[in-house]
Amino acid sequence: MTGEELDRLFSQVFGYRQGEIGHRFGFIVDVPSDPSKDTIDWKRRRALVQQWAQSLGDVPNHLCAVFAYVSPGQGNMDLLWPAYELEIGQPVPDSAQALSALEVASQPFDAIYGRSEYWIALTQYSTTAPLKMAAARFGFKAATMPGFTEAMIPALCVDIDEVHKRVMRLAKALTWADSVRICFDAAGKLCDLVLDLRHRMGFASSGKLNNIGQAGNLPSGEAYVVPYEGEKRGIVSLSNGILPIEYAGEIALCEVSENKIVCIDGEGEWVDRFRKFILADPARANVAELGLGVLGDWGIEAVGAILLDEKLALHIATGRSEHLGGVTSPSDFLAPENVCHVDYVYHKSLQPNIRILSGELCRGREHIQFVENDCYLYDKVSFEA
């Protein structure tokens, strides 16, 4: 992308007028702890960071800085590692050893946040959770782009205003509802899941980050809510039912009670691994998010990276939730290495044997059907943006 294209994109995202001069942009990139852990996409992303920083810096009076850190090998962990400032255009090192060998001083992240108005994190592993917390604390805006590849560029070119309109309508509907009921067809088996939405608000992640202190994914295009997790004294969560999750043709049928996965049925090697993974830590079993991605409406296809894929369709996540408005945080996990937030996206290319037959938002005796046969029913969701 050219400097003009990047300036247009980020003006729409961050809410400044294209052509305004003197904005400060910070780019964050991670490097493998060891070269053996590198990937082709990771290499290309590190090069892309410097290309974007150089191109955007060519726009009159825009200032760009690039900071690299050693990847922890897992997403959404707190940024406790030192950051190294790189020269614009300088190749990003491919390992922790090469990064630490640079003749530049390292700094804690808290010391660099004030350097920029706008932060763009083009990383292998997600920084969304820690940057949401830091943006509110330090007063910047941040676009997080974990796993971004050039195949995702078409998703940066959709009509952001129309995406915003649809996402805002869905977010208001999620706030209105006390619960949501989703009926799945999992390879011929009908599964009903009820998620408790009491004491919660719906949020919009439309790609527009107009307010200081905001951070969110780019590409974007989803409304989301954290189901009630039962944190209020004497008020248990009413989330219950069966959540089906598919991988490589195997389907795990997850029994949900009080917003936790308590039992997993199904057969296969992946199901066995998944069962051990989820049940090894109660915080991993937490139902952490209901997301309503809309980019599938524009024909955007899955690319195999959750950054984009979760924006295509309805998805449900487990694990950490406090960065989205819930209460499950890293301190609730049994060990730091267990901290996670994992999204499961119900798109035909990702879970081909699971379909969403219907979805209803409920409040008292009122019921609004908002999904039918995998498609959103916008005309029935009468909450204007």
Report which DSSP code applies to 286. B
pLDDT in tens, 221-238: 999 999 999 999 999 999
Work out the angle at residue 182's Cα, subtended by the Cα atoms of residues 179 and 183, and round it to the nearest 5 degrees: 150
Inform me whether the pLDDT recorded for 385 exceeds 60: no
pLDDT in tens, 149-190: 999 998 988 888 899 999 999 999 999 999 999 999 999 999
Compute the mean pLDDT over every residue in the chain, rounded to the nearest whole number.
93
For residue 362, what pLDDT is reported?
96
Q: Which residues of 36-61 are buried (b: 16+ CB within 10 A; e: fewer)?
A: eebeebbeebbebbbebbebbbebee
R_g of the chain computed on alpha carbons: 21
**Helix, strand or coil, per DSSP, at residue 331:** helix
Work out the angle at residue 215's Cα, subtended by the Cα atoms of residues 213 and 220, and round it to the nearest 5 degrees: 145
Q: Are the beta carbons of 146 and 95 closer than 8 angstroms?
A: no
246 contact partners, CB below 8 Å, separation of at least 6: 186, 252, 351, 352, 353, 354
- Please name every residue paired with 1 in a beta bridge, in sequence order, or none if there are none: none
Work out the angle at residue 124's Cα, subtended by the Cα atoms of residues 332 and 70, and round it to the nearest 5 degrees: 80
pLDDT in tens, 331-340: 999 999 999 9
Measured CA to CA, the distance from residue 293 to residue 349 in angstroms comes to 14
pLDDT in tens, 292-317: 999 999 999 999 888 899 999 999 99
Inform me whether the pLDDT recorded for 384 exceeds 60: no
In 296-376, where does DSSP find H-type helix?
A: 306-309
pLDDT in tens, 99-157: 999 888 899 999 999 999 999 999 999 998 899 999 999 999 999 999 999 999 989 88
- pLDDT band for 383, please (50, 70, 90 cuts): low
Q: What is the mean pLDDT of residues 240-259?
A: 98
Inform me whether the pLDDT recorded for 327 exceeds 80: yes
Inform me whether the pLDDT recorded for 21 exceeds 90: no
Task: Determine how β-strand 354-363 pairs with β-strand 240-247.
Answer: unpaired
Report which residue type is found at 265: D
Q: What is the mean pLDDT of residues 51-64?
A: 93
Long-range contacts of the stretch 183-187 (C-beta < 8 A, 24+): 183/356, 183/357, 183/358, 183/359, 184/242, 184/244, 184/346, 184/354, 184/355, 184/356, 184/357, 185/354, 185/355, 185/356, 185/357, 186/244, 186/246, 186/251, 186/253, 186/353, 186/354, 187/251, 187/353, 187/354
Q: Are the beta carbons of 24 and 63 closer than 8 angstroms?
A: yes
Q: What is the mean pLDDT of residues 44-71?
A: 94
